Structure 1
Amino acid sequence: MENANRGYERLFGDDGLTVGATFPLTSARTTRPNVGRELALTERLEALGFDGLWARDVPTDWPKFDDTGQTFDPWTWLSRVAARTDDVALGTASVVLTLRHPLHVAKQAASLDHLSEGRLVLGVASGDRPPEYEAFGVAEDERGAAFRESVEVLRAAWRDAHPEVETRWGTLDGTLDVVPKPTAGDLPLLVTGNSRQSREWIAAHGDGWLFYHLPEDALRSYLDDWNERTAAPFVTTCTVDLAGDPEADPEHVNQGFRAGAAWFRDYFRELDAWGVDHVIVGVRGDDRERAYERVAERVLDRL
């Protein structure tokens, strides 16, 4: 990405794997995370050297899905986080573009970009909860096209003064402008999953690809294909559950592994060698602060 903002530079500006964490930091399944504890742990993770903090966009709570995200709206929440941090990148993982008007997204994102002094990186997605499309009046079978057109509007709103663009979302005929413009002239977009798009489209229109945790063979296949198409970064996720025995072999857990610190150090080195640029980690257990400290001390600091 040309003229990259501070957040993008923090995550991808140097060679080597960077590591972030995802909200909620204090508990994965709580209905409403404790704000004070979340913010305190946010500051602690920045001090421990984590490179990114990622907020999810879950507009509605669908009990069948059993996942409310971090509950709070990502724009509101990351504005609060921006005020409590200095250098860590702030990411969305991911804004559901099909359920939000792109002009609102353009203004909200550019505003947060300024409030965080250029640290915002936008993961964007087409959504994965079927009842939400009906609730928001969106045709589920048209979400792929709606996603593409939303990206078109975002780029025009950020890059152009008095933009001209016509999509299903409406018409901009040059009379209106969208302000503020991003601090770096544009904002980085990381397409999440496939978002109903071809890999050719993702490589051509995204500033990176954010994919969920994958088995090794699938991940390496995706990386080989991606790196043949573009030099843009690749981001993945991993649950890190450190075993008491530092030499313990891996066991699969939801979206990651339970293993000893030695195995995780080797695994993260392999991710780096395969071409992963950033990994978003989550931890397990009741004492999340101590879990993140152990990851930082026993894995990240020894890579």
Structure 2
Amino acid sequence: MNRFKKLYKPGKMTLGVEFPLDNDWSSEGNLKRLEDNRPFGVPDISNHLVLAKQIDEAGFAALWMRDVPVYDPNFGDGAQLFDTLPYLGYLSAATKNILLGTAAIVLPLQQPIKLAKAAATIENLSNGRLLLGLGIGDRPVEFPMYNIDYQKRPEIFRNNLDIIKEAWKTNSNLKTKFDFLISAIEVYPKPKGHIPIIVAGHSGQSIDYIARNANAWFNYPRPVNETFENRKYWCNALYDNDQASKPYISAFHLNLLKDENAKFAPHRFGGAVGINNLTEIFKSYEDAGVNHMAINLRKSETPVKEAINQLKEVLLPKFNNQREEVV
């Protein structure tokens, strides 16, 4: 069964949640961080498994995580701390229905054969629930540590993606990618089904390349009017490259206020609002053409567990996000 349809329902917007599952950027969360003596951006992950299961059981479409190889205080973001691929394998055994997405793995820092094998392994073990989001990387400090030229990221991205796609094929021809090979080398396991490739941002590529080579485009959070224009830009690229309709994905940094009737106040990458006024905001993004929205709760004044319950009760029923049981 193609699990991608759980994320993409044309004309509707499905909902997901982003790691890390903390609210360190709220006033109370920041005080807790200081008490724990944690650097800014290094989350408290002690309750992540409980929260991941709660999100799965609530009926969200996808759970997203980022790939941050090293913690750079200048960026102040340690993502979910755990290494992306092993953690995805762990979550695939701990959850049942939710799609597991990366937003995004830094492709130029990956050995492509190893990534192809790891992704296919997770896809097999999760019963087809992997969404492989890929990005170019934006932290210059990481690339010298990997002995990779920062300026060559776009070229490396394209080459690595070509190798991964070839490695997944039955009777693959990796000799075309590695001219030193003298025999038909194969990489196992092969994916049981199709692993959706999702490109984050432009990743140093033209929009035409993304339209031809990706199954979806994950774009940075923007106000509704900018989102509408960007989604139109995506649709035009799909049309110009003779591609079928493909999802436009974005994210929203939600400060879910304790006052349930609080009006919406925008901030960078999202806004603050009470739960009773949130549906209207998300409907405006659905009307702008967003097919899937990943909710980030780091700013939420409502604790994460309670926020997930409120989203389940109030927001999920308003969107075409019905549970699909894995069989």
Question: TM exceeds 0.5?
Answer: yes
- The 3-state SS of whatever aligns with 1:157 is helix
Q: 1:39 to 1:130 in 2, by over 3 A?
A: same
Q: 1:165 to 1:189 in 2, by over 3 A?
A: farther
Q: What CA distance in whole angstroms lies between the structure 2 residues aligned with 1:175 and 1:97?
A: 25
Aligned length: 296
- The 3-state SS of whatever aligns with 1:64 is coil
Q: What CA distance in whole angstroms lies between the structure 2 residues aligned with 1:127 and 1:229?
A: 23
User: Taking every aligned residue pair, what percent have the same amino acid on both sides?
Assistant: 29
The answer (yes or no) to whether the contact 2:256–2:301 under 8 Å persists in 1 is: no
2:21 counterpart (25, 28, 32): 25
Q: 1:145 to 1:171 in 2, by over 3 A?
A: farther
Q: What CA distance in whole angstroms lies between the structure 1 residues aligned with 2:43 and 2:288?
A: 37
Q: 1:162 to 1:224 in 2, by over 3 A?
A: closer
Q: How does 1:79-118 map to 2 (within 5 A)?
A: 79-118=89-128
Q: 1:12 to 1:172 in 2, by over 3 A?
A: farther
Deviation for aligned residue 1:298: 2.5
Deviation for aligned residue 1:247: 4.1
Q: What CA distance in whole angstroms lies between the structure 2 residues aligned with 1:172 and 1:278?
A: 41
In structure 1, stretches of 5+ residues that fail to align are none
Deviation for aligned residue 1:53: 0.7
Matched, 1:249 2:260: no
Q: What CA distance in whole angstroms lies between the structure 2 residues aligned with 1:180 and 1:193?
A: 29
- The 3-state SS of whatever aligns with 1:65 is coil
Deviation for aligned residue 1:137: 1.0
The answer (yes or no) to whether the contact 1:164–1:171 under 8 Å persists in 2 is: no
In structure 2, stretches of 5+ residues that fail to align are 25-39, 239-244, 320-327
Q: What CA distance in whole angstroms lies between the structure 2 residues aligned with 1:250 and 1:32?
A: 26
Deviation for aligned residue 1:149: 0.9
Deviation for aligned residue 1:271: 1.7
Q: How does 1:288-299 map to 2 (within 5 A)?
A: 288-299=304-315
Q: How does 1:1-303 map to 2 (within 5 A)?
A: 5-6=2-3, 8-13=4-9, 15-28=11-24, 31=42, 33-35=44-46, 37-167=47-177, 174-184=183-193, 186-230=194-238, 231-283=245-297, 284-285=300-301, 287-303=303-319
Q: What CA distance in whole angstroms lies between the structure 1 residues aligned with 2:120 and 2:315?
A: 35
Q: What CA distance in whole angstroms lies between the structure 2 residues aligned with 1:217 and 1:173?
A: 54
Q: Deviations over 1:73-93 (max 9, x none)?
A: 111111111111111101011
TM (normalized to structure 1)? 0.91
Q: Which has the higher strand share?
A: 1
TM (normalized to structure 2)? 0.84
Bigger shift: residues 8-17 or 38-47 = 8-17
The answer (yes or no) to whether the contact 1:5–1:120 under 8 Å persists in 2 is: no
Which structure's relative contact order is higher, taking Cα pairs within 8 Å and 6+ residues apart? 2
Matched to 2:8, the amino acid is: F
